[in-house]
Chains A and B, each alone.
Chain A
Amino acid sequence: MRWLIPLSAVPVLALLAYGFRVNPREAPSPLVGRPAAVFALQTFEGAPLALEAQRGKVVVLNFWASWCYPACYEEAPVLERNWRAYRDRGVVVIGVDIQDTPEAARKFVRDFSLSFPNARDTTGRVSVDYGVYGVPETFFIDRRGRIRAKHVGGVTDETFRTNVETLLAEPTG
């Protein structure tokens, strides 16, 4: 009978442990399932960057800023690494820098040797279209141009791969 005392703690602990399985970062977004808003920006190198031009590819659209520590600093190498791994399989990573100064943003791109296209959202229109309320936020867009998932916080290898593999596995056309 008395051993029920320590056992009584078990269900509470189990409930708390369950909390780890819930991911508050999988932010529900009304945009999921909707067509991704199109935009046309200019990359840091001055090249045109339009979302429409990527139709038929899986797009990982990432919003970042140079002042965003540590999440943006931690995910930048992840994005670069996975972009290199997946670019030949029809995946494109696009970085959009928001609420930033041009110098700090350029330094960020240089420091992390980011080779995927990055652009500044100077007017803030793109971030408004995507309902970005904090950086980093990442949208996974399928080949048909629909937003399929939204991730709040730094992207990890696992998040990147799971989402991208799912979208790649879907039949083309």
Chain B
Amino acid sequence: MIPELGSAAAIVALALALWGAAAAAAGAGTGRPALVLSAQHAALGVFVLVTACFALLSYAFLAFDFSVRYVAMNTNLGTPFYYRITGVWGALEGSIILWTWLLALYTLVVILRHRESARELYPWVLAVMLSVMAFFLLVITVAAPPFARLTPAPADGRGLNPLLEDTGMITHPVALYLGFTGVTVPFAFALAALITGRVGDTWITLTRRWTIVAWYFLSLGLLIGGWWSYHVLGWGGYWAWDPVENAAFMPWLTATAFLHSVMVQERRRMLKLWNLALVILTFGLTLFGTFLTRSGVIASVHAFTQGTIGAFFLGFLALVLLTALGLLAWRWDALGAQGELDSVVSRESAFLLNNVLLVAAAFTVFFGTVFPLLAEAVRGVKVSVGAPFFNQVNVPLFLALIFLMGVGPLIAWRRASPDNLRRNFLWPVAAGVAAAAFFWALGVRSALAVLTLTLTVFVAATIAVDFSRATRARLRTGERLLPAMGGLLRRHNRRYGGFVVHLGVLLVTLGVTGSQAWSVQTETTLRRGEHAELAGYRVRFDGLSASEESNHFKVAGAFTVSNGRVLGVLRPAKKFYPQEQSPIAGVDYRLGLREDVYLVLGDFARDGSHATVKLQVNRLVSWIWIGGGVLTLGAGLAILPERKKPA
């Protein structure tokens, strides 16, 4: 009964979304508010129904209703309570429901916020959001029905993929999907602007916060994904250029470009066409990411499934791109720039270059991701593109971007005078040079590491110079230090929020550089009581223990870690799940600001007499996660409502 209710709710929601989209468009076209109001009600109805779908599917999981195919696939009687809930979005069908629900939630907030404030654009925004919603509901009802039955019903389910039994399963998909679906809002505004011909700055101003929110959640999703990969997969890495990681990274790159180029439009009336194109591209890339994850077209660790769903996504992607780019071409004449680029040495050209680099990065990632497909189409050979390609192409681009991160915010608009350059960049450049000498003196010999660290210090110094100068200006008006600094952050929250985000990115860069350049590892087989040594750490093998968990069998090793004094006992494990062919590694680690000690259990003797262990000392990785925290603060600051300066 429950599954039938769920299916019915999805079908009604689809009908409502289709009606709402049509009514909103008709209301906008004919200027009849009653139709728009009806669309609004339809959107509320969709939200309620999708919520119901979500609740019903969760109930089926909690009740172990194995007659539902999706439940049987993703849970079993041994699955702990907690992962029965996350199992709901553990695979294709449920994740589409989560996606749709978040989209419905965004639509709801758009209605609440913008039904009055954006009169001309609003009906079209609603029409676009509901159309996208209708597509996802179509997927739910036709291509990937979460409530499909399985007969005969098995006595027990297969269980969740063990790698998904992790807290990351709650936060990572939710954050990432909030990012993906969040991009729909600026996209809907951009299309509304194109349809109505109001391609000025209104849509940009209205969507600034939305874009930051979507961008922030994308960043968070990527970072949590990295953390997950780091502490679960047992290879000590956080990023592998897997096609699906790339799928989430590409819209992040173009969204980052968009966040910067809107400033140029706001300030200088330039890049109208470019901004519209970027937002269309970003939305297209989120769909492409979903297509990639779910079509099975490209081999990936994340590949969910195969079937008709890929064709659905590709069809929708084609519809979106052709419509949106078609509208862009149609409005071509209205999209000319009013402002002009006055000088190459100016803030707008720094932003422009930043955009070019970000889009180039997105393009190379795209190219590397689809290259296997291209190679097979053209030459009929199966190839795979690995990390070396992506690193080689992207590292120089990112270094240039970091450099621009220092230059952009402080260089003058229009045309930078030599005085402006000297005033703003003398100290940061000096700090960068000093840093280079310092790192060299410390014995850092990797040119790439020295360069990255130098740039990082340079950018941090530009931020420090700007902030201290602004603080001093306020001190001169008689304010005290802390109120002055607080007031600065509060009144110029957009600018300083951006700076704090930049600091977060610098910390992430520091973590990436450190872990790439200085991490060390060794693998060794130890008898009980023997120890291994690496980078000042001693790891002694104390023995093995085995335990029967609710849904798997676990063998854990005990290893005492010391560096002069005993730091603690780490217990890396191997988990044997009945439904898996090979055991799953359970990593154990000790995190630190300077370095993490990270243990992975390899082979072992059944009697516990000896075990193979992989010991890694990963340098500075924690700064990636700390950078994520700083980024959160900055994004929060940047979306606070702006306060008008006192007269």
Report which A residues bind B (CB closer than 8 A). Answer: 2-3, 5-6, 8-9, 13, 15-20, 22, 24-25, 66-70, 73, 99, 104, 107, 111-112, 133-134, 153
> Given A6-B322, A19-B295, A70-B72, are A133 and B581 neighbors across the interface (CB < 8 Å)?
yes
CB-CB < 8 A to A16: which residues of B? 288, 291, 297, 314, 317, 370, 373
| A69, B318: Cα distance in complex, Å | 33
Q: Mark B148-171, 1 if CB is under 8 A from A, else 0.
A: 001010111110000000000000
CB-CB < 8 A to A99: which residues of B? 578, 581
Task: Report B74 CB to chain A, min CB distance, Å.
Answer: 9
Chain B at the A interface: SS class? helix
> Given A15-B370, A22-B297, are A69 and B328 neighbors across the interface (CB < 8 Å)?
no
Interface range on chain B (Cβ under 8 Å from partner): 35 or more
B residues 546-600 touching A (CB-CB < 8 Å):
578-579, 581
Contact partner, A13, options B155, B317, B373, Cβ 8 Å: B317
CB-CB < 8 A to A73: which residues of B? 150, 154
Check if A5 sits within 8 Å of B329, measured CB to CB. yes
What are 27 A-B contacts with C-beta separation under 8 Å? A2-B332, A3-B329, A5-B325, A5-B328, A6-B326, A6-B329, A15-B370, A15-B373, A16-B317, A16-B370, A19-B295, A19-B297, A19-B373, A20-B295, A20-B311, A22-B373, A22-B376, A24-B306, A68-B158, A69-B72, A69-B150, A69-B154, A69-B158, A70-B150, A99-B578, A104-B155, A112-B152
Q: Does B640 contact A (CB under 8 A)?
A: no
Contact partner, B374, options A6, A15, A24, A70, Cβ 8 Å: A15
| A15, B298: Cα distance in complex, Å | 12
| A41, B578: Cα distance in complex, Å | 23
CB-CB < 8 A to A19: which residues of B? 295, 297-298, 310, 373
Q: Does B299 contact A (CB under 8 A)?
A: yes
Contact partner, A20, options B155, B297, B322, Cβ 8 Å: B297
> Given A6-B326, A19-B298, are A13 and B318 neighbors across the interface (CB < 8 Å)?
yes
Contact partner, B318, options A9, A20, A66, Cβ 8 Å: A9
CB-CB < 8 A to B291: which residues of A? 16
Check if A67 sits within 8 Å of B314, measured CB to CB. no
Task: Report B73 CB to chain A, min CB distance, Å.
Answer: 5
CB-CB < 8 A to B370: which residues of A? 15-16
B residues 330-382 touching A (CB-CB < 8 Å):
332, 370, 373-374, 376-377
CB-CB < 8 A to A111: which residues of B? 152
| A160, B453: Cα distance in complex, Å | 59
Task: Report A102 CB to chain B, min CB distance, Å.
Answer: 14
Check if A6 sits within 8 Å of B373, measured CB to CB. no
> Given A9-B322, A15-B373, A18-B377, are A69 and B310 neighbors across the interface (CB < 8 Å)?
no
| A24, B299: Cα distance in complex, Å | 8
| A16, B326: Cα distance in complex, Å | 20
Q: Does B296 contact A (CB under 8 A)?
A: yes
Interface centre among A25, A70, A134 (most CB of B within 10 A): A70
Task: Report B156 CB to chain A, min CB distance, Å.
Answer: 8
For the complex of A and B, the 10 pairs showing the least CB-CB separation, nearest first, are A19-B297, A6-B325, A9-B321, A2-B329, A2-B332, A111-B152, A6-B326, A69-B158, A5-B325, A69-B73
Task: Report B374 CB to chain A, min CB distance, Å.
Answer: 6
| A133, B69: Cα distance in complex, Å | 23
Task: Report A152 CB to chain B, min CB distance, Å.
Answer: 11
CB-CB < 8 A to B154: which residues of A? 66-67, 69, 73
CB-CB < 8 A to A13: which residues of B? 314, 317-318, 321
| A5, B277: Cα distance in complex, Å | 10
Task: Name the CB-closest residue of A to B296.
Answer: A24
| A94, B69: Cα distance in complex, Å | 26
Other 11 A-B pairs with CB < 8 A, given A13-B321, A18-B373, A104-B155: A6-B326, A13-B314, A16-B373, A20-B310, A22-B376, A24-B306, A67-B154, A67-B578, A67-B579, A69-B157, A133-B581
CB-CB < 8 A to A69: which residues of B? 69, 72-73, 150, 154, 157-158
Task: Name the CB-closest residue of A to B277.
Answer: A5
| A22, B73: Cα distance in complex, Å | 26
| A101, B78: Cα distance in complex, Å | 16
| A68, B73: Cα distance in complex, Å | 8
